Amino acid sequence: MPAFASQLRSFLPVAERAADPRCALRSRLEQLVRESAESYHLLAFGKASLEMADEALLVLGARISGGVVTCVPERLGSLSPDRRAAFDAAKVEVLPADHPLATQRNVSAAMRVGEFVRSLADADHLLVLISGGGSAHLTLPAPGLSLEHLRDVTQLLNRAGCDIRELNTVRKHCEQLKGGRLAALCKARDVRVLVLSDVLGDPLDVISSGPFAPDPTTYSGALAILEDVDGWNRAPQIMQHLQRGERGELPETPKPGDPSLQSIATTVLGGNRQLVDALADHAASLNLPVVAKWYDTSGDADDIAERIAAFVRSHPAAAAPRVLIVGGEWTVNVGESSGMGGPSQHLALALAIGFAGTTSAALVYSSDGIDGPTDGAGAIVDGDTLSAATGAGLDPRTSLANRDSHSLFAVLHARGATHLRPGPTGTNVNHVAVVLF
């Protein structure tokens, strides 16, 4: 193993702290306390909803007067008995909701969210806490569509490598709460929305499919996205629904300037850029020069791996390591592959192949602690990873082609390599790669 590869391990706890939803939220809640003496109803959804809601209860205390929180079931165990009692005392319901693919309990949770928001009166104040994963949590099919229709079209778009904007454009036009529709149900005169962004550039209409944001997308746009991925053959019921909307037979989502959204005030608390900056600060604390920071990096993981490898090759060898930090949202076009993996594990494997025989090394990490439908979140790789894999009887290039990075790293992990598997972190601010070369 190249001597400095072990330094990458120190970046992982930094990344975890930088993505901590409590830290991002606390100062804004304290500001809210200073600015207003009102009591607030509470609504929280997304991967970080439990931690964000708990922080709101800690800061606002008795000024929270009931609410609803959707929560990834695995996170419920992270609440101590006294904190769970605080939710009960504040009459805040905690409802389980799965991610990334919605289940019937997501539909039940979304229905309860809709009921809760509809129940608010003109004089009420609502505090909304949104984090990545909220799209799955607020799954409520439009009339005539089923949960299975939505699950199938989500998998179709994901496997085709569609980005989050394309995916959420379709979701917003097939469901009842997304694309500003939830806000349109709310009569409260004051709605404060605090957002932890999991989308590059922080577009409010895309984060969690924008349930409290005006939606510039249309049925026609959603129809065009699905047509490009063989939607008429793969998702005919969804296509028929979108076609009805395009003909004007179904109401469009609320657009910018819609009067139903006038009471909404939204603040973005943080996102992937803050994560990149925190990692750069850590590199500086280790006296590692940061050659470049790449913000908002998106696209196919194989293409990004080639860009990183080319960047590294373009710099002459140096006596001491330098750092490239890449933040963004990379994707993998799975196609018909049955392999197990995810974008960060795939990128790590591609870099392991590109770095073979060199002193370069990389940590690739998905901030939500899980990467694709696996328990991995990424990996640390270096110039020896390729030879270690072949020595274990594995074929890394075949694994890459088969989108089977998780299986390969699971074997290497048992032999001492670093397969990052922290479990769900309760947040999501996209992906990051730290490259030492």
pLDDT of residue 394: 96
- Whole-number Å distance between alpha carbons of 224 and 311: 36
Q: Residue 322, exposed/middle/buried by CB under 10 A (0-12, 13-18, 19+)?
A: middle
Judged against a pLDDT cut of 90, whether residue 364 lies above it is answered with yes
Mean pLDDT estimate for the chain: 94
In tens, the pLDDT along 43-85 reads 999 989 999 999 999 999 999 999 999 998 878 888 899 999 9
Burial (Cβ within 10 Å: 0-12, 13-18, ≥19) of residue 148: exposed
| pLDDT value for 23 | 85
CA 169 vs CA 60, 86, 261: distances in Å: 35, 37, 19
Give the residue-averaged pLDDT of 181-204. 95
Structure tokens at 399: 């694994």
Tokens of residue 67, six digits:
């609410």
Q: Evaluate the CA torsion angle 232, 238, 242, 244 in order and state its sign.
A: positive
- Residue 189's SS3 state is coil
pLDDT category, 1, cuts 50, 70, 90?
very low
| Residue 409 clears pLDDT 50, i.e. is over it | yes
Residues 277-332: tens digit of each pLDDT = 999 999 999 999 999 999 999 999 999 999 999 999 999 988 889 999 999 999 89
pLDDT value for 123: 95
Given a cut of 50, is residue 128 above it in pLDDT? yes
> pLDDT band at 175, cuts 50/70/90?
very high
* Residue (of 77, 68, 71) closest to 182 by Cα position: 68
User: How many CB atoms neighbour CB 356 within 10 A?
Assistant: 18
Q: Residue 207 to residues 151, 186, 292, 390: CA-CA distances in angstroms?
A: 19, 19, 27, 41
> What residues are paired with 293 via a beta bridge?
325
pLDDT tens-place string over residues 320-348: 899 999 999 998 988 788 899 999 999 99
Integer Cα distance of 191 and 213 in angstroms: 12
If you search the block for the tokens 């990149």, which residue do you land on?
276
Chain centroid to CA 336: how far? 24
Q: How far apart are the first and last CA of the chain?
A: 13
Residue 98 per-residue DSSP state: -
Contacts of 115 (CB under 8 A, 6+ apart): none
Query: For the CA atoms of the chain, what is the radius of gyration?
Result: 22
Q: What percent of the chain has pLDDT over 90?
A: 81
What are the residue ranges of helices labelled H in 268-395? 272-285, 301-313, 343-354, 385-391
Instruction: List the 378-382 sheet strands across, edge first.
Output: 290-300, 323-331, 431-436, 361-366, 378-382, 418-420
CA 395 to chain centre: 31
Q: Is residue 172 scored above 80 in pLDDT?
A: yes
| Half-sphere exposure in the Cβ direction for 96 (13 Å, CA) | 9
Q: Cβ(274)–Cβ(367) under 8 Å?
A: no
Percent of the chain with pLDDT over 70: 99
pLDDT at 258: 96
* The pLDDT of residue 3 is above 70: no
For the cut 60, the answer to whether the pLDDT of residue 227 exceeds it is yes
Query: What domains are defined for the chain?
Result: 3-15+273-436 (3.40.1480.10), 21-270 (3.40.50.10180)
Evaluate whether 347 touches 305 at the Cβ level (below 8 Å).
yes
The pTM of the full predicted model, rounded to 2 decimals, is 0.81
Examine the pLDDT at 417 and tell me if it is beyond 80.
yes
Which pLDDT does position 6 carry in this prediction? Answer: 79
